[in-house]
Structure 1
């Protein structure tokens, strides 16, 4: 970072916005330290952080209106998505906000060359030492340690701005963000090579030789082996996609964001293709690294999450082109080592990058998330608004709904901590973000043939404490709530909140290749790339017929068009226990375990090929 040598001259010359004294500052945001975090040390004064300053988007309500109109199959504008430039024009801040923030930054000696602006100028990014950030925000940064994992972050619990600047800044991070980005996977691990070889041999037998057929909930015959091992063939049979061959493979595209140094190994992908998708053998994906993200091909570094995502998303949608993103995230901070950056808001780093691109994959699946309450509401709202921008541009976004039911993603029910972070420690179900964002499609998990809600780890689901219930799901969700016993789980969830998941797919016993060895893996991390694979095929069908891509899916999925056609397989058995409760039940219609159900590709294809 370069601070101007003319700092004092600049400060005195800025008559419109001189450096405010400390008394002029007022607290803009304050949070309680989430459970599990303890103050570890003072942050070194010269530790560098990258501050992202979010300016208001005064016309976002107009963008939202466009989003819902172009995503509603019964609206005359269905499919008339906006361009990148049209979206940016709608989210641009007012000139007054730009001037106010520019003057504030200038008053601290920052020049235009020290700033990085988003294309719409609604974000300004600066890299500054901790001591400098503390002065700008009238705050104190510390090193905080997560007692269970050992993770460390440089954060503060409150920050301030001059009073007159409050209306011109929505959010500044990293400040109060204590979220711990995690994947929604649950892996079966074997303790020794002999046991591993035994399981692999048994799984291979199941894959290669079916012992008969069973009937799925939609009345289709499915190989009996699919009750034990999930493969590409099983998913095609279960979801009525056998025999479909993509045609517009230069237009329909699919993308997978990766985080937490999860590397997608091409050798593992080839082993998977050789076994389950031989026509895809020797094909691969495009790799894009963000913020220094890499994808080394040392087989020992192959990541389970990455393997699951790319093998099934790209295997189901082949030969549709696939892209794998790796965003460098959460570099470890050690107080005695001067690391150049320290942030764990990786999905927003990815979002910034993608929004700046002219062309993006039309279908994107993400298998990561945070406990909603560990993400400051101001930041969650801005990230969610970014997802809305992609939807308005014609991109279908899917997120895993999380694992371990209504709890805090802790696999041990006895130690789940289901408490609020508002200082009151009230018992509460824990929603998952970004799945709780109303502008994305949240994917829950099922298992077995016929399908029931996944039981080994529990499908995440519930109701947002940040976002109100959107109109597109109001009737379906209200029907579920009305059927609950009076005062059912009173106070444990927000009945008026955005409900999730929206839909579901198989979520356990997936057969992947990892580090050269076949393994079984599960989680809603499997459900999301699976559903996305079928969405990529639906996009291909529409593009082949000269129609625009699907874009934001939820208004379509909740529409009477889909309901009348029975294009989603309703799951009515199972639950998602957590927080010392049985959780919610799967039932007829929408439920906070499996949503509206699993896809019937054939029926969905017929719907999206109509005259919309």
Structure 2
């Protein structure tokens, strides 16, 4: 059959139209200012591969949140009735219309189902695409940004989407996220240890009525060990079991590796019963655990967390990828999104460890609000499945996480250039337990203990009594305009945070920071889980409603810290006081009393 020229042209144009992306009105989805400390460098290489993560709105998160409040409330008849992995996924699955809209948009840009990775619930979509394609998809321009500390990120300060997609996409990253996610370790407290002086070794024990046996070794005033912590927090003589199904874990990022040989030296010195035991390593995104490069943060976390909890099965999550990305060395992949990779993994794990400790965070203001809220919802999902998450509250007092007061800026990044106290994220998420720091015996607040009030998250219901009580104690006008009195307050609790004896590369050192407090508190949470599981009960899961209920009505369950403060931003910071305070929360744990309380719960 002969086809006329006119018909051929019409058919050819129709084919071209079908193959080309549809024409949609593109509207800016998100913009950001470049945070202080970052400098824009060259344009990002167009062939650089980026794992583009697309957050699709969760259809019924309010229902999941309601479940979480009920199963975490010790006064609710549903307490401890955690949801299954499948039940959680069903509640957060996105609406089919949103999934279809996003899939159609990806298809318009030549991406097929084979190119797409989805979370089990379908609320996250990930595609690996080169910068050049991302710029076309998002109407954006990516550059390499360098921080004053030498770290670099590939980012854009603005991106857009077809207008019809805005209702179906919460956000896309990496785009405007300038968080560095660094360890909460006060490195200026890192010093090689010296043996206790003979006078100290022979000194009488320190009287601490709440401690095991009513006293603590005098050496604990300068050298914190597992024995010191068990004495101080009333856990001497409690031995957990290895075969109950209880698990505990620490997270590692930025090429912080945990040494097996250093762990054995630590066990030989502090936990002889644990010698020849170890921990499992789970690699995420190619994470390594290089035994020739032990890290102080990773060794601190694993030695103390797993020393307190031995013989509970232990896991070290090592997640690959770290800044800086250096585009001139031939790298074709952007690998500086390790935290998102860990979150992807743990949310996709049907039976994660019941207690997970993390000692990394960043300034809350460097995290886009929509990203912070969605990540926080991910923590809620873990809580609903029975996981307790502890995060160190930071080492900058009320400041920006910088442990050196001389270099703290405490200036907002939103264009106002206003002086404010700057909390950290993820500790500011209400669905995690933020752990502040203490020092010495008897305990006092350590001066670098991070604390304050979120500028992103409102005060949660579990803080409705304790936090206003603290605010009422402040003199009128105290720090007016420097903090958000209606925000989620941190920390929730505290633990020792300085003079921890750890082994690194075969040598013994002191390390300080709330990086030590988070695994310490998590260790005692894992012991409480052991007690509950042995009694045929569920794990504790999301802790905060229980902590605030106990803190308000059970005298002695937490050791109330009433001295010390957390200076920063050119101020003396908040004071530790009776009851909850934004330096040490409700205080440090009394394991013996807490064990009796949690065993009395359903």
TM-score category (smaller protein): over 0.9
- For the pair 1:247 / 2:237, whether they are aligned, the reply is no
SS in structure 2 at match of 1:508: coil
**In structure 1, what is the equivalent of residue 174 of structure 2?**
174
Distance in 1 of aligned mates of 2:16 and 2:369: 33
Question: Which stretch of structure 1 is more off in the superposition, 38-47 or 79-88?
Answer: 38-47
**In structure 1, what is the equivalent of residue 433 of structure 2?**
441
**In structure 1, what is the equivalent of residue 137 of structure 2?**
136
Distance in 1 of aligned mates of 2:320 and 2:16: 36
SS in structure 2 at match of 1:351: helix
SS in structure 2 at match of 1:336: helix
Distance in 2 of aligned mates of 1:311 and 1:484: 39
Distance 1:82 1:39, change over 3 A: same
**In structure 2, what is the equivalent of residue 92 of structure 1?**
93
User: Which of 274, 297, 312 is residue 291 of structure 2 equivalent to?
Assistant: 297
Aligned-pair CA distance for 1:180: 0.8
Aligned-pair CA distance for 1:378: 0.9
Distance in 2 of aligned mates of 1:211 and 1:485: 41
Distance in 1 of aligned mates of 2:202 and 2:232: 15
**In structure 1, what is the equivalent of residue 48 of structure 2?**
47
Distance in 2 of aligned mates of 1:357 and 1:190: 35
Aligned-pair CA distance for 1:245: 1.0
- For the pair 1:225 / 2:219, whether they are aligned, the reply is yes
Distance in 2 of aligned mates of 1:558 and 1:248: 30
Alpha-carbon displacement from aligned partner over 1:90-112 (angstroms, at most 9, x marks no partner): 01100010011011001111100
Structure 1's unaligned 5+ residue stretches are 1-7
Report if aligned partners of 1:217, 1:569 keep a CA contact under 8 Å in 2: no
SS in structure 2 at match of 1:105: helix
Distance in 1 of aligned mates of 2:189 and 2:112: 53
**In structure 1, what is the equivalent of residue 306 of structure 2?**
314
Alpha-carbon displacement from aligned partner over 1:243-300 (angstroms, at most 9, x marks no partner): 00113534111000100100000000000000100000000000001001010112xx
Distance in 1 of aligned mates of 2:358 and 2:150: 25
Distance in 2 of aligned mates of 1:611 and 1:380: 32
**In structure 1, what is the equivalent of residue 9 of structure 2?**
none
- For the pair 1:215 / 2:207, whether they are aligned, the reply is yes
Alpha-carbon displacement from aligned partner over 1:396-450 (angstroms, at most 9, x marks no partner): 0000001020112223212211111101111111110000000000000000111
**In structure 2, what is the equivalent of residue 156 of structure 1?**
156
Q: Give the RMSD, CA atoms, in angstroms.
A: 1.8
Structure 2's unaligned 5+ residue stretches are 1-12
Aligned-pair CA distance for 1:329: 2.5
**In structure 1, what is the equivalent of residue 105 of structure 2?**
104
Q: Where in structure 2 are the equivalents of 1:415-494 lying within 5 Å? A: 415-455=407-447, 458-494=448-484
Aligned-pair CA distance for 1:582: 0.5
Distance in 1 of aligned mates of 2:46 and 2:407: 37
Alpha-carbon displacement from aligned partner over 1:560-579 (angstroms, at most 9, x marks no partner): 57632420111010110000
Aligned-pair CA distance for 1:510: 0.3
- Structure 1 stretches of at least 4 aligned residues deviating more than 4 Å after TM superposition: 8-11, 188-191
Distance 1:606 1:252, change over 3 A: same
Question: Which stretch of structure 1 is more off in the superposition, 249-258 or 51-60?
Answer: 249-258
User: Which of 19, 22, 33 is residue 19 of structure 1 equivalent to?
Assistant: 22
Aligned-pair CA distance for 1:226: 0.6
**In structure 2, what is the equivalent of residue 5 of structure 1?**
none
Distance in 2 of aligned mates of 1:114 and 1:384: 27
Distance in 2 of aligned mates of 1:38 and 1:403: 25
Alpha-carbon displacement from aligned partner over 1:444-481 (angstroms, at most 9, x marks no partner): 000011100013xx100111111111001111001111
- For the pair 1:67 / 2:68, whether they are aligned, the reply is yes
Aligned-pair CA distance for 1:13: 3.4
**In structure 2, what is the equivalent of residue 535 of structure 1?**
525
Report if aligned partners of 1:19, 1:108 keep a CA contact under 8 Å in 2: no
Report if aligned partners of 2:324, 2:336 keep a CA contact under 8 Å in 1: no
Normalised to the residue count of structure 1, the TM-score between the two structures is 0.93
Distance 1:67 1:190, change over 3 A: closer
Aligned-pair CA distance for 1:330: 2.0
SS in structure 2 at match of 1:90: helix
- For the pair 1:57 / 2:58, whether they are aligned, the reply is yes
Distance in 1 of aligned mates of 2:15 and 2:380: 39
Distance in 2 of aligned mates of 1:570 and 1:490: 26
Aligned-pair CA distance for 1:491: 1.2
- For the pair 1:572 / 2:572, whether they are aligned, the reply is no
Distance in 2 of aligned mates of 1:489 and 1:346: 36
**In structure 2, what is the equivalent of residue 4 of structure 1?**
none
